[in-house]
Amino acid sequence: MRRPAILLAAALALSACQRANDDRAWLGPVTVVEAPAAPGSRFPNLAASDDAAVVMSWLEPAQGGAFALQYAAWSGRGWSAPHTVATGPDWFVNWADFPSVVPVSRGTWGAHWLQQRPGDVYAYDVRIAVSADGGRAWSLPMSPHDDGTPTEHGFVSIFPGDGETLRAVWLDGRHTAGEHEPASHDAGPVGGAMTLRTATIDSAGRRVGSDRELDGRVCDCCQTDATVADGNALVVYRDRSDDEVRNIYAMRADRGGWSAPVLVHDDGWRIAACPVNGPAIAARGDRVAVAWFTAPDVPRVRLAFSTDGGRSFAAPLEVASGKAAGRVDIVLLASGRAIVSWLEEGPSGAEIRAQPFTTAGAAGDVAVIARSGIARSSGFPQMVLAGSDLLFAWTEAAKPSRVRTARATLR
């Protein structure tokens, strides 16, 4: 009787070991996918809707020194031909503050870019166009803010509103008087505080009501991100305290209006300049995951989960440290795993990396997606879930630059 028991125990141990190995090998081979972006293209953005529409947008040089906002849709096997949303000779083009095309719902899409004001390189406005037919036709561009000040307005996130409306949040410099921090990576404003503001826009491209302030003092040039958690809007951003501590905060909107800011985690990172490195958020129902970069002692990428729709967050997990450069993205799977991507300096140059996590910690090994660089011209790598695949997009900082994409199947 002992021998069968021993054999059974050995079989169970082998099975457990195989499951553990399967857990570590969480991603199939990374395959390059030809992107429909021309030489000179740069700064892609990936976005997906609840009905599985996946869109990549990017900037591309146009005639006469202008730039065009292009997009392509994912078919499951490759990208569609490129489509042009808008073109302009006076756009503000920046490695960290890049445009987007977002499929908000089955019919309603939103797109944004930044339009330069004359006279000051750091004076520009947000421009938004809306499509009511899935990207085929676009409304005339509008601005979600009407302050008219020659200051910075950017780092926009577009996400679903109620019905066929969309919401936008952005960093708004109307109180800064156009002054800038000389110590900042991108010269953040000091004449007054940068603020976080929001507005609702209908499917015809008209603002619904007035824009409103959500936070009166935020980090000057870190990206915002937004999603919908349990039916309610949820926004994450980097705050800026009076003594220059720059933590990640979340705000949620429900029928009662916007909540007070919720601290994701107190990193204690005091820095008298903007790190130009914003957070990323993903949600399924009331489960939320936020990834971000911080450097209170050494550079780190962290991840925090919420099980109550972003009302509170658990203690963070350490994703990477030491040579992590941040520039994070995140997706949340139906299984509860969060996949975090980030940029890190490796032995042969910078690498775009990704790794899965549960609330208990790492749920697979680090996967190297592509070689890249940490120069500004490399931009911010992007990641999105497309069925059972992960799609990645980044800027190849060559001469000329070019948008590159890849896919890998989740195991």
**What's 166-223 look like in SS3?**
EEEEEEECCCCCCCCCCCCCCCCCCCCCCEEEEEEECCCCCEEEEEEEEECCECCCCC
Write the class of the CATH domain 26-409.
mainly beta
The pLDDT of residue 4 is 37
pLDDT band for position 179 (cuts 50, 70, 90)? low
Q: Per-residue pLDDT for 182 more than 60?
A: no
Average pLDDT over residues 288-308: 98
> What are the residue ranges spanned by the domains of the chain?
26-409
The pLDDT of residue 256 is 81
Give the residue from 306, 341, 285 showing the smallest Cα distance to 50. Answer: 285
Task: Using alpha carbons only, give the angle 24, 368, 376 rounded to the nearest 5 degrees.
Answer: 145
Q: Per-residue pLDDT for 23 more than 60?
A: no
pTM, rounded to two decimals? 0.91
Q: Which phi and psi (to 5°) does residue 370 adopt? A: -165, 160
The pLDDT of residue 1 is 37
Q: Per-residue pLDDT for 16 more than 80?
A: no
pLDDT digits (tens, 9 = 90+) for 270-286: 999 999 999 999 999 99
Give me the sign of the Cα torsion angle 178, 130, 386, 358.
positive
